[in-house]
Structure 1
Amino acid sequence: MASSTVNRWLRPEVYPLFAAVGVAVGICGFQLVRNICINPEVRVNKEKGAAGVLDNHAEGEKYAEHFVRKFVRNKSPEIMPAVNKFFTDPK
């Protein structure tokens, strides 16, 4: 029984499925760790939880304006700008 299960799921055709699921689990794990560690609204220990609602806008701004958001802020919202320019701009 075990060998038929292994033969069914460990085939080269299934590797892209494993890769896609692995990437999705990795992204979810990254976001979970990021929220637990640096999100100002998440409190894991009792000392910070007893503080109630904090009006710490600087910490919230730091969390929201991370590196990726700053990097793409002034970029064009295109996936492949060179290909788009090639097909749309007249020469």
Structure 2
Amino acid sequence: MRSTMNDKDKLADKIDSIDKENIENTLKEALEWLDHNQNADKDDFDDKLKEVEAVCNPVIKQVYENSSAADSQDGEEPNDEL
């Protein structure tokens, strides 16, 4: 997710600045949590992953939907393989 956020050729330029900030803060918090909880149970790791996904997935989904809509308006067929 972090590399996607930093890659201008992927989604970085298509994500709203507020959403980008929320994702970056979430990723930072998750990495800090990982640093301090390396001996956590698998369930704890899964819970943390779900927290990160709850922030990131809706934003990425919206970007793809907006991108597909823009492609459709440009006369291109939508790519349902995403």
Q: Which has the higher contact order (CA 8 A, sep 6+)?
A: 2
More helix by share: 2
> Which structure has the larger Rg?
1
TM surpasses 0.5: no
For the aligned pair, the TM-score class normalised by the smaller chain equals 0.3 to 0.5
* TM-score in terms of structure 1 length: 0.32
* TM-score in terms of structure 2 length: 0.34
